[in-house]
Chain A
Amino acid sequence: MSRGEAIGLMLAIIVVAVAAVLPLILDGYWLSVALTAMMYVALATSWTLFSGPTRYLSLATGAFFGIGGYLVGLGMSDYGLSFWLMAAIAPVVATALALLIGLATLRLSGVYFVIFTLGLAEMIRNLVSWIQNNFLGSRGLYVLTDFTDADIYWMLLAVSVAIFALGWWINRSRLGFALRIIGSDEEVAKHVGIDTAWSKVVLFMVTGFFAALIGALVAPRYSYIEPNVVFSPELSFIVVVMALLGGIHRLWGPLVGVIPFTLIWEGITISFPNYTTLFLGFSFLLIVYFLPHGVVGLMQSLVRRVGR
């Protein structure tokens, strides 16, 4: 292990340790802010695992997240199954779906891929609503558990750690190398004998797995699951935006994007209760114009300046 890696590992351990004790010191409100941030950290980081190196922007997060939340709601409310069973089943279903999507989208590139995933997510949302309407006949899906915010927070933290560990491992593995080549030039990647299709599909399945798992874990917080709420297209967009704000070429990019952005979001919600949406919009514009390379870019140039 090199010196740089050792420092990185130490830093990571400290960050995780601090994050783990937060629920013990924060009050209810700040805990729920931390929980929201943790959810976005997990979602945006797992999104970046695939979209960062390959530069295929996926808008299917909402679909996977929705599968997680919806299956938990359906299993618990209609079939009396346990939360843990459903939280285990949901990611598997999502992974299988991601496999299909991955195989279907192999020929698509650029904006066609982006909008394909968006259309797919919308199709799933409408299909689930229709199935529930015609075959399940549910009377509202309730997820009533005894989980506290702290429990959910710790579960999400564990998921985030797993995502980071996996991301770190992928970056060092042959798979990560392959993905970076795909990102810079897919033709070259093919010529040097990289199985581009397989690499992309596997990574896409990973993001699907995690998004569904997160959706399942967050479901008890919502208590009441509506297909049109959990399969939210807005969530897909926000995850993309948060990851882009941070920077998608580093594993920790989304992390440094999500945290300040969540705080700004809170600040705006509190300061301008009647114009929250308006000022959020302004803050987006400011960030785009003054932070062209995301938070990672800002940090790197600061580091460079200090180093000089």
Chain B
Amino acid sequence: MDRRSVLRAACTWAAAAGIGALAVTSALAEDTVKIGVVSHKTGPLAGGEAVTHTPNIEMWVKQVNDRGGLKVDGGQKKIELIDYDDKTNPAEHIKAVQRLATQDKVDFMLSPYGTGFNVAAAPIYAKYGYPLIAVSAITDKIPELASRFPNMFFTLGSTTGFVEGARDTLVGLRDAGVIGNRIAMVNVADAFGIELADVARPMLTEAGFEIVYDKSYPLGTPDLSPIIKGAKAAEPDAFVAWSYPPDTFGLTEQAIIEDLDVNAYYTAVATAFPAFSAKFGSKIEGNLGAGGVNPDTPAMQAYREEHKAVTGKEPDYWASATYYASLQILEQAIEGVGTLDRQAVIDYIKTHTFDTVIGPVSFDENNNSERYWSVGQWRDGVFRAVADTGMGDSVKPVAKDGWN
């Protein structure tokens, strides 16, 4: 190595270190409320986050700031959003949350995308006393997590509640004579898919269904046609897939190609995405899937219009609205307390009922909101809830009538 290249190398490292040093001492503005979030901008969960979380945050911050900011300390303070990318890596995520808490000293933090990330971040939120209003976290460990992390709240339901919704939908269809007892069930061999299938297996059997095909497939399977062919050969009356976004699209495309003739067809995550209906058009009329909303309430209609106007895209028909509701809860709790006292805000969330886009939300002794939609069905381009827990405004599911 000659002299010049040594010098050049030294300069490179010095410059790089300089970038780091500069960023560490970023100036802070005093008259804002600092809100932090760590998102997955790249990596396996980035596609879901970009649909369900990011546009809602953008819209909420804009709305609050347009009306002058949050009402605290007798005046109004605008929101300053601090946002880091964790590349869907838990270690990076934890580090970035620590940074928000101790370096940026943000006033509040928003919840991350994915069960694993919510659970991984919960100890840090707890340590520094931040409320964590989890949305994209579905688990059966809610009581245990809530007793461990009293600052953690749950809004999107439990695994069991979720599967119960699917079971009730299928039972309803069976009682109406639409389907028989034979169910083909598949799942993606990853945490959430495994968990759902594991809960569903005994529950469906107990409800009198016969699971005639029960297989898993690995994450990132390039060709799902053998699964649909296998399911079809088992001659099921209903098809249930505990699937992730890429395979929800892939399975459905194969089902159309194979003309999988079932009167109930369920896929999990991403069925509620606008991209799902954009891809398949009218062919998915009557498809069942995870989530659903009641699109008829004035609050929901206003939300969907505003979302479209501000972000240029449609929200999904599931967790989008719930995530926005979690932001409303935070907003109302902060303004209800009137200061940025986090402990007071946590107590306020525990004891009050909030008026949100998904209706009134309050939390039980396990910090859990027992009001959520669990199954939706595509009807005329809208994904309507057909099963819920505590909502009471679902419509009756109908038969799926072919892939046209």
A contacts, CB < 8 Å to B: 27-29, 31-33, 36, 39, 126, 129-130, 132-134, 137-142, 144, 149, 218, 221-224, 226-229, 232, 234, 260, 263-264, 266-271, 273-274, 276-277, 283, 286-287, 290-293, 297-298, 301-302, 305
Considering only CB atoms, which chain B residue lies closest to A270 in the complex? B23
Asked if A140 and B85 sit within 8 Å, CB to CB, the answer is no
Question: B302 within 8 Å of A by Cβ?
Answer: no
CA distance A130 to B140 in the complex (A): 22
Jot down 14 A-B pairs with beta carbons below 8 A, ordered by A. Answer: A29-B95, A29-B98, A126-B189, A129-B189, A132-B189, A139-B159, A144-B144, A222-B91, A273-B83, A276-B87, A277-B41, A292-B1, A293-B1, A302-B10
Q: Which of B109-126 contact A (CB under 8 A)?
A: 115-116, 119-120, 122-124
Do the beta carbons of A269 and B85 come within 8 Å of each other? yes
Given known pairs A226-B116, A267-B17, A277-B85, the reply for A305 and B6 (CB within 8 Å) is yes
Q: Is the CB of B84 within 8 A of A229?
A: no
Q: How far is A32 from B12 in the complex, measured between Cα atoms in Å?
A: 26
Q: Is the CB of B218 within 8 A of A28?
A: no
Q: Which of A277, A283, A298 contacts B9 (CB 8 A)?
A: A298
CB of B312 closer than 8 Å to a CB of A = no
Quote the shortest CB–CB distance from A226 to chain B (angstroms). Answer: 4
Chain A nearest CB, measured from B146 CB (Å): 12
Q: Spell out B's residues near A (CB within 8 Å).
A: 1, 3, 5-6, 8-10, 12-13, 16-17, 19-24, 26, 41-42, 44, 82-85, 87, 89-92, 94-96, 98-99, 101-103, 115-116, 119-120, 122-124, 127-128, 139-141, 144, 148, 159, 187, 189-191, 194-195, 197-199, 216, 218-219
The interface residues of chain B lying within 8 Å CB-to-CB of A27 are 102-103
Inter-subunit contact A129/B218 (CB<8 Å): yes
In angstroms, Cα B99 to Cα A292, docked, is 33
* Contact status of A290 and B8, CB under 8 A, knowing A264-B16, A297-B1: yes
Q: Are A223 and B120 in contact (CB under 8 A)?
A: yes
Q: List 5 additional contacts besides A28-B127, A271-B19, A298-B13; criterion CB under 8 Å.
A: A142-B119, A224-B115, A227-B190, A270-B99, A292-B5
Residues of A within 8 A of B13 (CB): 260, 291, 298
Q: Write out the residue numbers on chain B whose beta carbons fall within 8 Å of the beta carbon of A286.
A: 12, 16
Shortest CB–CB separation between residue B198 and chain A, in angstroms? 5
Contact of B102 among A29, A133, A139, A267 (CB under 8 A): A29
The contact of B42 among A137, A226, A277, A302, by CB within 8 Å, is: A277
**Shortest CB distance B197–A (Å):** 7
